[in-house]
Amino acid sequence: MEMVKIVSLEEGDILEEKGDYIILSGYLVCKAFRQLIYFTQTGDFISTEVASSYSAVHYEAKSPVHLMHISTDSEKVVELRDTLHQKIMACSMRRLDIFLGTVEERLSALLYQAGIEMGVLQKDNSCVLPYMITQKEMAEYIGCTREYLFGIRRKLIKQGKITDSRAWTLLEWDEWKRDAILLYGETAFIN
């Protein structure tokens, strides 16, 4: 009988062990250098083998994380790796495309991406983002200062697009979705 290997990471740790994993709990971000590629959540398949085939792509824990190591090369795992290859490439291309927009558009795209990939939809048509990236990181991801990011945040609050709270809660989720489709196309943010 094969033993199940569980890997635990603390917030800020980089997943260094080679292999294929299922996320049992917690959040990771897939990054290239210091740039965000995509967010992960419980139940997602990740592979350091796939990530390492791209230059400087890695997974960083944004909360305490528990992963289950998959020690088989079954057809399903090979299929999951192929899908992950496609996802990393598509998300990388999307990041490049997003950087052609204004800082405000880049922030909206990042918030929408976070909503799609890890947000919790509420009955009132809002989307609550778990706290997993700092405002400093967010500013780095969209290419601005924290002060400028704070100004955009105030503007979004005045426009009624987000709540005035410490958490990032996106109001009128359907409008966020419509705006993202208008700017980037229907398939740009498929999770």
Residue 88: closest CA among 42, 54, 115, 59: 54
Q: What distances in angstroms separate CA 132 from CA 27, 50, 54, 184, one per listed residue? A: 7, 24, 24, 25
Instruction: Give bridge partners of residue 70 from the DSSP assignment.
Output: 20
- The one-letter amino acid at 11: E
Which residues lie closer than 8 Å to 117 by C-beta, 6 or more apart? 38, 39, 40, 41, 191
Model pTM score: 0.86
**pLDDT, tens digit only, all 191 positions of the chain:** 456 799 999 999 999 988 999 999 999 999 988 889 999 989 999 998 887 767 688 999 999 999 999 988 788 888 999 999 888 888 888 888 888 889 999 999 999 999 999 999 999 999 999 888 888 999 999 999 999 999 999 999 999 999 998 889 999 999 999 988 887 776 666 65
